Amino acid sequence: RKVAKEKNLDIREIIDSTLLLQDNAIKNANIQASVTGESFSVHMREGSCMQIFNNLIDNTVYLLSRKSENDTRKLKIILDSKTNSVYMSDSGPGVTQRNRDMIFEPFFSMKGEDWRGLGLYIVKEILDEKRWGIALVDNYDYPGLLKGANFKIVFSEDKE
């Protein structure tokens, strides 16, 4: 079995490609998506990197599509090249206090019982394998984050 090789990837290009893959779902859910900040490089397998953002965007699309048509539906992705971090922020319902400790556990889902609950678990596993990380953060932790779910993905062993 052939295993993809790790290579240097431009994080902005990966995010743009993943947004393009999700373009129909984003448009159908009437979501305003934006990407800001300076790009940086990460060294990993391209498919694994895209999987991280695809799983996060997929969750966002699902949760935002459940909001009223009158509500603003936003996905904001902020690149922070100083810390090799990406913030994924949305205007959805967010994560309740009682669910905060469980969202990265396998088979936990806020989508209902018909869902497998593996998306965030897989994201965390991919990042843990590289000794990187993902954390749920609050909207006041970084300028410009929205009031829904906010994740900080750190592509550095120095996780601040």
Return the pLDDT at 66. Answer: 83
pLDDT class of 159 with cuts at 50, 70, 90: very low
pLDDT class of 67 with cuts at 50, 70, 90: confident
Return the pLDDT at 50. Answer: 97
Q: Using a CB cutoff of 8 Å and minimum separation of 24, what contacts does 118-121 make?
A: 119/55, 119/56, 119/58, 119/59, 120/55, 120/56, 120/59
Return the pLDDT at 157. Answer: 66
Let me know: does 14 contact 49? Beta carbons within 8 Å. yes
- Does the pTM of the predicted model rise above 0.85? yes
pLDDT class of 114 with cuts at 50, 70, 90: low
Is the pLDDT assigned to residue 68 strictly greater than 70?
yes
